[in-house]
Chains A and B, each alone.
Chain A
Amino acid sequence: MSLSSLLQLFRHSLQRLELSLAQVVGFDRSLGPALAVNGPSVLPQAPHNSDEESSEPSFMDSIFWMAAPKKRRSIEVNRCRRRDPDKMIETKNNIEPCPECGNMKLKHVLCGFCYEKVRKETAMIRKQISIMEGAPLNTPAVESVVLYENETPSNADKRIIERSRKRPYWFKV
């Protein structure tokens, strides 16, 4: 059996499989002019020989020049490649405890916990600002200052943003 006829057979069987799958799903291509015979609903494919032969040589030529593995790689060879030290994950030795909160942090990066707590407070301040301004692009051309509970503003003309909680220990005056 030559390779081309094998490929044709495989292609035909694939098409037949696709058609049968389509029939199952409900795409009935042969709904129009159908045979008035009670038989298998999958019509046999008419061989499109004229079409295939023109495209076959280009397809055939390309597969002869493609790289393909000669032998199956054994599990030992595969393990040597997958487990060599370059591919393994290295333990990080630049982790240290944060002096403020005690959670671990990388040496050259801000502590995640402390950053998160500052971010949450900043979000509340920003919400307050948006309530004060009302609409976008209403920011006054003055400095702003955030005042917490029981704090009096100093005599400077700054916009005051009030937060109804006590001052966080990390937000120095």
Chain B
Amino acid sequence: MAASAVTWAGLSAFGRLCGQINYRLRGASSHVSCLHTNTQLNSKHWERNNRVVYPPQQKDEPRRPAEIYHSRRQIKYSKDKMWYLAKLIKGMTVDQALTQLEFNDKKGAKIIKEVLLEAQEMAVRNHNVEYKSNLYLAESFSGKGKYLKRIRYHGRGMFGIMDKVNCHYFVKLVEGVPPKVDQKTGFDQAKEYVEELKNRTIIYSL
């Protein structure tokens, strides 16, 4: 009969498929034992930091601040130029960083602003952050993406290989007030260096 077209082999295959899906889902959220627990094809290292689950805190421990990792890959911009913007906003509160980027004329500023807004929204939606302004940029940096190579024609039959550059941008938002960093002047750093040189001794000496 047409109704009983589902064969025994088909059923068993379906059961195995269900089991595999179940195993995959459970395996993806487990973070207990080995290094290579479950690496899916499209999850990169920075985003995987978002899946870390800590054990519940004791009553006397200070509250662990929420950390949100976000990135954007293969941005059509140079990593060196992006680094200047990343260095500008590192350590600022999210609102301050957004205002600085809004009035910056560089191409990367608009892109970083989008990334920050996305991360802020993610924080409030998924990471249990209460106030979206109570976030600061703990880490912000750029990395090299995959380059395309092209030929640049010079005179006299010479050619050069031109790189079409791409970059990644990474950001880590942490809940709370940004920590105060003491701005060390160049003079202080030089003084420290001289002190280090003076404190050297000869080992295994009398």
Are the C-beta atoms of B103 and A95 separated by less than 8 Å? yes
Interface-located stretch among B42-50, B67-75, B80-88, B140-148: B80-88
Inter-subunit contact B157/A11 (CB<8 Å): yes
Count of CB-CB pairs between chains A and B under 8 Å: 30
A-chain residues with CB within 8 Å of residue B88 when the two chains form the complex: 88-89, 91
Question: Which residue of chain A is the closest to B84 with respect to CB atoms?
Answer: A89
Q: Is the CB of B157 within 8 A of A92?
A: no
User: Which residues between 67 and 98 of chain A lie within 8 Å of chain B, taking CB atoms?
Assistant: 82, 87-89, 91-92, 95
**B85 proximity list for chain A (CB < 8 A):** 89
The interface on chain A, measured as residues whose beta carbon lies within 8 A of the other chain's beta carbons, has a size of 14
Closest to B157 in A: A14
- Secondary structure class of chain A's binding surface, majority of residues: mixed
Q: Do the beta carbons of A95 and B157 come within 8 Å of each other?
A: no
Cβ of A104: which chain B residues have Cβ within 8 Å of it?
A: 99, 102-103
Contacts of A95 in B (CB 8 A): 99-100, 103
Considering the chains assembled together, what is the distance between the CA atoms of A14 and B103 in angstroms? 49
- Residues of B at under 8 Å CB distance from A? 80, 84-85, 87-88, 99-100, 102-104, 106, 156-159
- Which B residues are CB-close (under 8 A) to A15? 157
Report the minimal beta-carbon distance from B132 to chain A, rounded to whole angstroms: 16
Q: How far is the CA of A92 from the CA of B106 in the complex (A)?
A: 14
Q: Give 15 pairs: A residue, B residue, CB < 8 Å, sorted on A.
A: A14-B158, A82-B80, A88-B87, A88-B88, A89-B84, A89-B104, A89-B106, A91-B88, A92-B104, A95-B99, A95-B103, A104-B99, A104-B102, A104-B103, A106-B103
A11 neighbours in B (Cβ, 8 Å): 157
Query: Which A residues form the contact surface with B (CB < 8 A)?
Result: 11, 14-15, 18, 59, 82, 87-89, 91-92, 95, 104, 106
Contact A88 B99 (CB under 8 A): no
How near does chain A come to B92, taking the closest CB pair, in angstroms? 8
Q: Most chain-B CB neighbours within 10 Å: which of A59, A82, A104?
A: A104
Listed from nearest, the 10 A-B pairs whose CB atoms lie closest are A89-B88, A104-B99, A89-B84, A95-B99, A92-B103, A91-B100, A14-B157, A106-B103, A95-B103, A92-B100
Q: In the assembled complex, how far is the CB of residue A51 from the closest CB belonging to chain B, in whole angstroms?
A: 13
The residue among A11, A59, A92 with the most chain B CB atoms within 10 A of its own CB is: A92
- The interface residues of chain A lying within 8 Å CB-to-CB of B99 are 95, 104
> Chain B residues near A18 (CB, 8 Å)?
157
Given pairs A87-B84, A88-B88, 17 additional interface contacts (CB within 8 A): A11-B157, A14-B157, A14-B158, A18-B157, A82-B80, A88-B87, A89-B84, A89-B85, A89-B104, A91-B88, A91-B100, A92-B100, A92-B103, A92-B104, A95-B100, A104-B99, A106-B103
